[in-house]
Each structure stands twice: as C-alpha cells, then as structure tokens.
C-alpha cells in the first residue's frame, strides 16, 4: 500500500454520509408527502401528478419523486419521458414539467425505456437512498413521492430514510376489494408511525355528460367506510372521467383544463391538502 493513499471508505461510512446528505436536502423541503395505496391501478400516479401541478398552479414550489421503479408513470403523464436530468457539481438536477414542477423518475435515467427494471429489495433501497441523497431539489414547499402499490420495500425505505415525512395521501377506488387492500396500507402507516393526511377516493362515479345521471361503476363507499373505521379525513372524491385517462396518455394534466368538473374537484382536494398541512405546520400532526 502506498504511504499516502486515501483511506478507502467502508460501506457503513458511505451509508452514514448519504443519510446525512438526505437529511440536509430534506431540511430544505417543507412538506414531504408520499402518495400510497395497497392497490395498483387506483390512480396514485394520476393523483400525484395532478395534485403536484395543482399545487404549483397555486404558487407553491413543487417536485415529484417517482419511486415506482417497476411501473414508473409520472414522466409519461407529464410528457417528460425523453428528458434527461443534468448532472452538476451539486448533484442530479430534476427535469421541469408543467407549471415548473420538478421531476425525477427512473424512467428518465434508464437508457432502455422499454426494458423492465428487475431489482430485488436491497438494490431498490440503495437506489432510493442514492437518489434522495444526490438529487438537488433546492428549496421546495412540497415534495410528492409516487409509490408503487403495496407495502413493500419502496414505502418502507421512504419511511425510514425520510423520518420527517409530513403524512401520506392514501388512494382508494370505491370497491370493496380496494377497501380490503387499502386497510393493510393504513395499518402499515400506523405501524411505521407515519401520519395519514387523508384518503382520496378516485374513480368514485361516472357522471353522464349528456343526461347528468350518476353511475357507480366501481362500487360505492370504500372511501367513507375507511375514513370512518380509521378516523381519517376524506380529501375528496374524484370521478371516473375518460378525459382523465386521455390526459395522462397525452402528458397534459387534467387539472390545468378549464371549465372541467374533474379539474375543479382536484383543485378542491389541493386546497384541502394545503389547509391541513400548512395549518399543522412542521409539528407533523396532520
Ligand atoms: N379518475 C380517473 N378517471 C379515468 N381514468 C383514470 C382516473 N384516474 C386514473 N385513471 C387512469 O387509470 C390508469 C391507472 O392510473 P395510475 O395513476 O397509473 O394508477 P396507479 O398509479 O395507482 O397504479 C391510468 O391509465 C390513468 O390514466
Ligand atoms: Mg403508479
């Protein structure tokens, strides 16, 4: 060994250093909010994207961390799939989407867009740690974290790596099956002592654009039943809207659409969210 060779850092030292970087970066962000559900396909990514853009339209400084490595959707929903984050001396610079919302998604960092990410738990935790340590978000009001379905490695890593989480937005659809699975996510949050800001019931109903009649296509009431059972807030009920799906495919968030009921309802959810978290301040009791 050369006499003056720098000492090689051990794994533990590297992890401690990264955790300190995460703490520093997170201290510049007022509210850190994961969007979660036990269930897949209920609209977590749709809600993350539209709430983020809605917050930004009200003057908030907002970013999204897409932590769904196996099914990243945020970049697609914001038309950012082909954007490549820049690397500076400060770290990885997020890409900017509509209303200046900053975004980091694995989708943007992979060379092969169509290749599946085949990773086991510890690798996912390390990638989440590294991204949280190295992405230069700057000063933010809100960081929304889009999670994959379930109660696996990603939500667990996020809860452990960001102890200052403000609280979770829990998403369900109105069906009994969704209710059954979302219960597990609620208990998961309780066990990890992460507050739940409230529940959003997505795809609640379909209102016929011609006759105005309301149809409950995916069942009814899961949102209310869950809020009652666990003493939680209902942040809102978002209708099933064909344009909501189309807007995701096109990368143009529906929340920016004018004269649109769905957009108005999402903005009401945004107002409720702002009221709840900004009144609670930094003491985490949401
Ligand atoms: N309220 C809604 N009305 C119509 N389509 C919706 C609605 N919410 C979500 N979608 C669509 O449903 C699909 C699943 O939503 P997504 O946000 O990807 O779910 P998750 O992230 O929970 O897996 C997407 O194609 C999305 O565009
Ligand atoms: Mg998703």
**pLDDT score of 1:** 47
Q: Which residue has the higher pLDDT, 69 or 281?
A: 69
Summarize the confidence of residues 173-181 as an average pLDDT. 97
Of all atoms in ligand 1, which is nearest to the CA of residue 37?
22
99-120 pLDDT tens trace? 999 999 988 887 777 778 777 7
In a domain, 2, yes or no: no
The CATH number that applies at residue 51 is 3.40.50.300
Instruction: Indicate whether 284 pLDDT > 60.
Output: no
Distance, CA of 150 to CA of 279 (rounded, Å): 29
Quickly state the pLDDT bin for 280 (edges 50, 70, 90). Answer: confident
| Residues flanking ion ligand 2, Cβ below 5 Å | 44-45, 73
The pLDDT score that the predictor gives to residue 36 is 97
Strand ranges (E), 20-101: 29-36, 62-66, 86-88, 91-93, 95-96
Q: Which residues line ligand 1 (CB under 6 A)?
A: 37, 40-46, 73, 202-203, 238, 240-241, 244-245, 248
Q: What is the mean pLDDT of the chain?
A: 93
Give the range among 191-200, 224-233, 263-272, 277-286 with minimum mean pLDDT. Answer: 277-286
Residue 222 alpha carbon to ligand 2 centre in Å:
20
Category of 79 on φ-ψ map: left (φ > 0), alpha (ψ -120 to 50) or beta: left
6 within a domain of the structure (yes/no): no
Assess whether pLDDT exceeds 60 at residue 82. Answer: yes
* 285 falls within a domain: no
Q: Give a yes or no: residue 204 inside a domain.
A: yes
Rounded average pLDDT over 232-255:
98
Say if 1 falls within a structural domain: no
Work out how many domains the chain is built from and give that number.
1
Distance 67 CA to ligand 2 centre (A): 9
Please give the pLDDT value at position 189.
97
Per-residue pLDDT at 60 exceeds 60: yes
| Residue bearing the bigger pLDDT, 161 or 282 | 161
- Tell me if 69 sits within 8 A of 150, measured CB to CB: no
- The protein residue whose alpha carbon is closest to atom 16 in ligand 1 is 43
Identify whether 5 is part of a domain: no
Q: How far is the CA of 77 from the centre of ligand 1 (A)?
A: 10
What is the pLDDT at residue 123?
Answer: 85
What mean pLDDT do residues 82-87 have? Answer: 94
8 Å CB contact between 179 and 151: no
Q: pLDDT tens digits for 129-151?
A: 999 999 999 999 999 999 999 99
Quote the pLDDT of residue 22.
97
Residues 6+ apart with CB under 8 A from 90: 136
Q: Please state, for a pLDDT cut of 70, what percent of the chain lies above it.
A: 95
Buried b (16+ CB within 10 A) or exposed e, 120-152: eeeebbebbbebbbbbbbeebbbbbbbbbbbbe
For residue 142, what are the domain limits? 12-280
Whether 244 maps to a domain, the answer reads: yes
Does some domain include residue 171?
Answer: yes
Mean pLDDT of 32-49: 97
Question: For the residues 213-234, what does the mean pLDDT come to?
Answer: 97
The mean pLDDT of 216-236, rounded to a whole number, is 97
Report how far apart, in Å, the C-alpha atoms of 163 and of each of 10, 90, 132, 154, 265 are: 24, 23, 13, 14, 31
Ligand 2 centroid from CA 73, angstroms: 6
The residue nearest atom 8 of ligand 1, judged by CA position, is 43
């Amino acid at each position: 060994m050369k006499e003056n060779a720098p000492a090689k850092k051990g794994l533990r030292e590297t992890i401690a250093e990264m955790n300190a970087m995460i703490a520093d970066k997170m201290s510049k962000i007022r509210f850190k909010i994961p969007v979660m559900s036990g269930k897949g396909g209920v609209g977590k990514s749709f809600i993350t994207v539209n709430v983020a853009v809605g917050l930004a339209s009200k003057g908030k400084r907002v970013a999204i961390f897409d932590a769904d490595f196996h099914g990243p959707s945020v970049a697609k929903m914001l038309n950012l799939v082909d954007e490549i984050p820049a690397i500076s001396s400060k770290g990885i610079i997020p890409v900017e989407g509509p209303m200046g919302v900053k975004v980091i998604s694995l989708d943007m960092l992979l060379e092969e867009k169509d290749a599946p990410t085949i990773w086991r738990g510890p690798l996912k935790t390390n990638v989440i740690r590294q991204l949280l340590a190295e992405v230069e978000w700057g000063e933010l009001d809100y960081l929304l974290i889009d999670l994959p379905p379930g109660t696996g490695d990603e939500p667990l890593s996020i809860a452990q790596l960001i102890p200052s989480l403000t609280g979770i937005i829990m998403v369900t659809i109105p069906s009994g099956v969704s209710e059954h699975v979302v219960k597990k996510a609620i208990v998961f949050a309780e066990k990890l002592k992460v507050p739940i800001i409230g529940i959003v019931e997505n795809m609640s109903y379909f209102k016929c654009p011609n006759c105005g009649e309301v149809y409950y296509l995916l069942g009814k009431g899961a949102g209310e039943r869950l809020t009652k059972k666990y003493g939680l807030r209902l942040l809102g009920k978002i209708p099933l809207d064909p344009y909501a799906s189309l807007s995701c495919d096109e990368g143009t968030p529906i929340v920016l659409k004018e004269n649109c009921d769905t957009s108005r309802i999402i903005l009401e959810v945004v107002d409720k969210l702002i009221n709840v978290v900004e009144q609670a301040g930094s003491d985490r009791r949401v």
